[in-house]
Amino acid sequence: MAFPKFSALTAVAVAVITVAYPALVYLGLRQGVSARWMALALLALPGLRWGRPILRKVPLYALPAIILAAAALAWIGGEASVLYYPVAVNLSLLLVFGIGLWLPPTLIERMARLRHPHLNERGVRYTRRVTQIWCAFFLLNASAAAATALSGNHALWAFYNGFLAYALMGLLFGGEWLVRRRVMAAGPR
């Protein structure tokens, strides 16, 4: 069976929907849209995102996390199925990043080796430390997302998961980028 080609327009649409997810859920819940319909639409996003068989795009070790998150959302049902999506995403990312701490190399080391194929031991230690920091972030972010879902305050949930979580992620990413530049400028030790 042939899958449609993944176009740039599809990529932009999926990115916008993914980022706007909390706002869309908030508005949907306020307008009385069934959470089950929103959850079904949510489960269609990975298919749109990859545009081809999932096994070709997703690392094999990430599949259990994706399947587990989808199954949990389907099992939960109701509002929880859409409110706990950010929790499932963060726990899935924790698993994907964390698995490299037990089964090296880490995902961040793999990405670093794309640019620096002969990464030295200092670079490997650095990427491992960055992986640990991202794992802590994903765990804390999943906890905060769960707390907002449990609060029952949809506006708070949408604010945290649709704005504050992205801002915190951007700060961490930007801070790591600045530290990495300084580390690389210091040279090998």
What pLDDT, in 10s, does the model give residues 80-103?
878 988 998 899 899 999 999 999
Return the structure tokens found at 148.
């907002």
Rounded mean pLDDT of 159-173?
97
Query: How many other CB atoms are found less than 10 A from the CB of residue 98?
Result: 19
pLDDT of residue 159: 97
Considering 18-27, 110-119, 154-163, 180-189, the range whose residues carry the highest mean pLDDT is: 154-163
Give percent of the chain above pLDDT 70. Answer: 75
Residue in 50, 51, 95, 49 with CA at minimum distance from that of residue 72: 95
pLDDT at 52 over 50: no
The DSSP result for 89-115, as a single string, is HHHHHHHHHHHHHHSSSPHHHHHHHHH
Nearest-angstrom CA–CA distance, 46 and 136: 25
Residues 14-36 have pLDDT tens digits of 778 778 889 988 999 899 887 77
For the full predicted model, state whether its pTM sits above 0.85. no
- pLDDT, mean over the chain: 83
pLDDT of residue 73: 63
Return the structure tokens found at 49.
């995102």
Residues 113-131 have pLDDT tens digits of 999 999 999 999 999 999 9
pLDDT of residue 114: 92
Nearest-angstrom CA–CA distance, 79 and 9: 30
Query: 51-57 long-range contacts, Cβ below 8 Å, gap at least 24?
Result: 51/3, 51/4, 51/5, 51/6, 51/10, 52/3, 52/6, 53/3
